[in-house]
Structure 1
Amino acid sequence: MSNVEAQTPALQQTMLTQNDMDTWDRYWSIESSGTNEYTGPEKDEKRMLDEKISRRFKETVVKKPDGYYVRLPWKENFNTLPQNKEMATARLRSLLKQYPPEQLAEIVNTFREQLHQGIIEEIPRTNRLSTRGRTIHYLSYHVVYTPEKRTTPKRIVFDASAHPKGRPALNDVLHQGPLMLPNICGVLMRFRIGTIATIADIEKAFLQVRLHEGDRDATRFLWVRDLTQPPSENNLVVYRFTRVTFGLNSSPFLLAATIHFHLESSPFNSTIAEQLKDNLYVDNLVMTAESREEAMKQYRETKEIFNSLEMNMREFTSSDETVRNHFDEKDRSSSLQVKVLGIGWKANTDTLTIKCTIRSVKKITKRNVLHINASIFDPLGWLTPLTIRSKVFFQSLWNKGYNWDQPLREEDAEQWKKLCDSIAGFQKELPRKLVKKYSEQNLFKFTDASTMATACVYIGNNGVQQLLIAKTKLPSIKGAHTIPKLEMNALTIGARLARTTYTELKKIVTISNIYLFTDSEITLNWVKNKETAKEKGVLVSNRVKEIYNIAKALIKESESNSVTSIQGKTQQIAPPEASLQKNSNITSGGKVRNSFDLRKIGGHWKRKSSL
């Protein structure tokens, strides 16, 4: 073995910092979106807890003339939460030393403005020790500067995960709450369906949800009266939030639950209410329409709904100039080049920009390679032909036993530099619109495997297909798999992606046929002959079973949504690089050699259906 210290992945994982883990968690949540294993209904325990949290929210939420008031979703161990004042004071002392006077003055102005708006309130010294049975906790915070963001170049971010050693953080004693956000990949796919696109966002969304007076002391934080003096007890100012703040793990749930509660309990147009539920991601609204009249109506009804919520929906822009001019000037975005959930969009040309930016690092280590991989935002997998090589390289570092912060050997470092050079700077514009809303379309899933599993989805009809989404998965480093088994994994990913894509698009597109393609005769035979698959081991048997379960679920769901067939076939597939290296689309690819039929599985259906 080389002089590189060998460690198992499990041992090396413990050397990751919390920031590393957060970065990697965010990356994999998007990377695996749409391809998670299909397991049917949620586990009963999680479902029951989510129902309990939702029920508690509905029992305690109160609507007043100035907006909605909510309670924090406390866990049973909330009484173990420390006050955390010492840590908050230490972090404040560090912040005061870190920033120059002009930036500290900006923080003063922010707090002064929030105090004036009633977002925060000061706790007099005489009341700071009076608990009245309430939970007291002091939050730490830091400042994030993002000059490229026109509306929020500076954000004060509160850290509800900070805690003394051996004691819980505020986030540890709060339920995160059920996930009520739509799938980000689904929102982006729907953004590409429709002739006219419109986006907007809620101004300071979390701060528009009022916090019940009984929970406010858990969101205290510190500042100083005199910036020239240290944060002594006499110089400290204690504030607390009157609103839900970003940084609490339950904030996304509380915001989404409040909006959903308002939509469900008020007599709004059911169509626009459903569109808002499906296409509002945290505070970002993404909508499409087939006519100017429809787009203008969406704008008017959306403004009415959020005005009644005491929330300001703003920064509207549209791909249609007439629609843009219809927006009130105070609601209209001044920029036509914006980000839509992280993807660049030029509204005036209605084009999306995909690009690959690689930051340079002086020291090439496994940790830095991980961060660079995770920093490439590609939720729909359009950059897969480029980024797959960097993922394979990162996996190879595990096999070579590198420590997290150990510099790579010269030959590995040189290989990484060449990879970065081949990826960095890539940029391509593509039309936002794929097909019209409410049109009849087919879905084509292509799967393939060599050293990794790949699946991509095209949408189209009448001989014209457009790339919608692509996903990849590297094989485990724990053991070797044969190519047919990797093909089986790829086909399963394709089936999972088929269900996800159909579920996300079924309300706005009529899916007539769902085709699943593989170039592996062996894999196809395993799926066609379930008994034979059982003889090939647990992996093959489980994958075949999952594909059948997905097929049955799709068939059952499609009976009320006009899907006429779900088919699987073998076919020669063009290499995925074609979509980036050439200005062409992958369509039929070759002659169909075989197909299999699942019409007889699980009972009788009204429509002829096959996979």
Structure 2
Amino acid sequence: MFDILLRFRVHKYFFLCDIRRMYRNILITPEQRSLQNILWRDSPQEPISCLQLQTVSYGLRSSSFLATRCLYELAIRYKDEFPLGSKAILQSSYVDDIVQSHNDLDTIINIKRQLIDLLSLGSFNLHKWCANNSAILSDIPTEKQQHSDELEFQKEIKTLGLKFNVNNDSFQFAPMLEQPATTKRQILSFISQFFDPLGLAGPLFVQAKEIMQSLWISKVGWDSAPPPEILTKWQEFYSSLTRMQPLTIKRNVCLDNQTNAELVGFSDSSAKAYGCAIYLRSTDKNGKISMSLICSKSRITPLNSNLSMPRLELNAALLLAKTMARVYDSLKDELQIQNVYLHSDSQVVLAWLKTNPIKLNAYVANRIKLMQQLTNNYLWSYIKTDQNPADCLSRGVSPCDLMQHPLWFNGPKFMLDPDYKFTEFNYEAVKCNLPEIKVVSGDLNEGGPVCAASLKVNSVVGNIITKYSSISKAQRVLAYVQRFISNLKKTRSEQIKCNYLTYSELNQALLLIIKHEQMKYFSSNIKRLQEGKQTESSLKGLNPFLDADGLIRVGGRLQHSALPYAHKHQIILPNDSYVTQLIVKNEHVILLP
């Protein structure tokens, strides 16, 4: 839905429609229909009848998937015959709703015709048509349009759960005000009615989320009144909603005769919340510049975590990086995006982005590494807090003030200047006092001791590897060596480990062995990755990166999946390494039937 709505906002012409009785047009395989039998009788005196539903049923967990999968199959089978209609089904449909836009009038009319013909092959009929140009609906019967002779034309309709005004081509946001809620159940029920997948009214929802968090922490009963301080805050928020004028947000964020398009993102955090906002900066052939909010994301700060302000700012910047990557992927085929610019008002975070993750503590290093991957081709800049639109998300804005807010909907005014140039952040002034830098024993300015220690460790690991013909044996010996060294460093008051080896100790030993082999075979690649450069060897196709432990792992699109980290980013092993042979041999022995 998020991607569909994004694409819906970047073209001049549009049409909306939905598939009439979509579920009822899909037959279930005869072998499966017995699973939809219903036993029924009108009275206890009548015999029981068996009714069988032969089409997709409403209310089943699988229903939406089955219907969507049928549409997908239809689009794939006839993509060569109906290329525009197939693309519309794959990219612009959500269950039975179709939301399509395009800058060329003839093209969108052709999309409509192909869509009708393609769906008719699956016995699907489209109705509730509406558009912002009468030529699009010229051949659509009146009874199939959103309005008819019997019904007065509705100015506001619902598309993908959002109120949309067809006349002025804009989204409408106005809360459904009822009797003031006074219990936890009523308050949460009211807040859950807010629906804003693009985050266009994000600052309002931040305040609502804060109240929701406070309610859960208070642990009051569902039908009990919240504590006085929470109830007061809720009443003030509700009172402000009643005075708020409906928000009207234009759908099309692009200029006519647009020649240049840029994505501009902002992130910010406070002790209560953090978030990001993304804008489309458009330039037409006359040099006119427009900036419009296209989406935002926000998160409430967890109360059970003692995160420092730099870490909160880092989480906000990471949210921006993830959101911008998704926005860019959704719009890159719709617009010619020349540049992407990202902004933060935290100089510490911007300096971290220019720091090798190996030098940072694990919490920061993992996030910085991901951000560097996601925003490798983007430019990060510094922006003052009072000029940062994302500040509206981190601190919230009163419902009465949001519509007239100078920053939220159009971004900083100085970016509307045609002569404004985006500049990269210069981190030289803050890099010397950065927090979260790993503490290394010894003087870092005297490289000798550190290098010597590294050489000794590598020598020990190398000797162990060559001494044993079993990876598990070498792993356990090295784990005991590491424990012995750890025990030597402990004071008398600290407990010395002398029991069985733990999984963590064995895993650390294995990682150290693999790291030794990678240093032996991939030293030039590691050096380039440490310098922030891409590899030039055969590893390049794997999009390699260094993790927080200095190990080379596979990058790529799996990073967006829900798989565990080790599955998404496998450790790369040298092909000719003795260790690789031992690992493969060990797995064969374990899995031998």
Query: Which of the five TM-score ranges fits, normalised by the shorter chain?
Result: 0.5 to 0.7
In structure 1, distance between residues paired with 2:347 and 2:181: 48
Give the TM-score normalised by structure 2: 0.63
Residue 603 of structure 1 pairs with residue 535 of structure 2? yes
1:581 to 379, 387, 404: 404
1:105-504 counterparts in 2 under 5 A? Answer: 184-225=1-42, 231-232=43-44, 234=46, 236-266=48-78, 267-334=80-147, 335-336=153-154, 337-360=156-179, 363-365=182-184, 367-424=185-242, 426-435=245-254, 440-451=260-271, 452-462=273-283, 463-504=289-330
Share of identical aligned residues, percent? 20
1:513 counterpart SS class: strand
Contact 2:74/2:119, CA 8 A, preserved across alignment: no
CA shift for structure 1 position 354:
1.8
Aligned residue type for 1:496 = K
Aligned to 2:433: none
Q: 1:414 to 1:204 in 2, by over 3 A?
A: same
Aligned to 1:546: 370
Aligned to 1:159: none
Shifted more, 469-478 versus 346-355: the winner is: 346-355
CA shift for structure 1 position 527:
1.4
CA shift for structure 1 position 444:
0.7
Aligned residue type for 2:167 = N
CA shift for structure 1 position 278:
0.4
The alignment of Structure 1 onto Structure 2 pairs a total of residues equal to 403
1:356 counterpart SS class: coil
In structure 2, distance between residues paired with 1:596 and 1:262: 53
Aligned residue type for 2:425 = N
Aligned residue type for 2:304 = K
In structure 1, distance between residues paired with 2:260 and 2:38: 55
In structure 2, distance between residues paired with 1:526 and 1:190: 33
Deviations 1:195-217 (A, max 9, x none): 11101000011111101111112
Residue 524 of structure 1 pairs with residue 350 of structure 2? yes
CA shift for structure 1 position 326:
3.5
Aligned to 1:594: 425
Give the TM-score normalised by structure 1: 0.61
Contact 2:276/2:317, CA 8 A, preserved across alignment: yes
1:581 counterpart SS class: coil
2:278 counterpart SS class: strand
CA shift for structure 1 position 392:
1.0
CA shift for structure 1 position 441:
1.2
CA shift for structure 1 position 259:
1.4
In structure 2, distance between residues paired with 1:282 and 1:342: 12
For structure 1, which runs of at least 5 residues remain unmatched after alignment? Answer: 1-183, 226-230, 553-564, 606-611
Contact 1:387/1:423, CA 8 A, preserved across alignment: no
2:378 counterpart SS class: strand
CA shift for structure 1 position 602:
3.2
CA shift for structure 1 position 193:
1.2
For structure 2, which runs of at least 5 residues remain unmatched after alignment? Answer: 148-152, 284-288, 416-421, 429-528, 541-593
Aligned residue type for 1:194 = H
In structure 2, distance between residues paired with 1:525 and 1:233: 80
Structure showing greater relative contact order (alpha-carbon pairs closer than 8 Å, 6 or more residues apart):
1
Q: 1:380 to 1:567 in 2, by over 3 A?
A: same
In structure 1, distance between residues paired with 2:277 and 2:130: 30
1:375 counterpart SS class: coil
Contact 2:357/2:366, CA 8 A, preserved across alignment: no
Shifted more, 488-497 versus 387-396: the winner is: 387-396
Contact 2:278/2:296, CA 8 A, preserved across alignment: yes
Q: 1:221 to 1:421 in 2, by over 3 A?
A: farther
2:224 counterpart SS class: coil
2:127 counterpart SS class: strand
Aligned to 2:580: none
CA shift for structure 1 position 383:
1.5
Deviations 1:71-93 (A, max 9, x none): xxxxxxxxxxxxxxxxxxxxxxx
Aligned residue type for 1:455 = C
In structure 2, distance between residues paired with 1:427 and 1:533: 50
In structure 1, distance between residues paired with 2:39 and 2:157: 35
1:494 counterpart SS class: helix
In structure 2, distance between residues paired with 1:339 and 1:264: 29
1:461 counterpart SS class: strand
Aligned residue type for 2:410 = N
Aligned residue type for 1:307 = S
The structure with the largest alpha-carbon Rg is 2
CA shift for structure 1 position 321:
2.3
Aligned residue type for 2:278 = V
Q: 1:306 to 1:436 in 2, by over 3 A?
A: farther
CA shift for structure 1 position 480:
2.3
Between structures 1 and 2, the one with greater helix share: 2
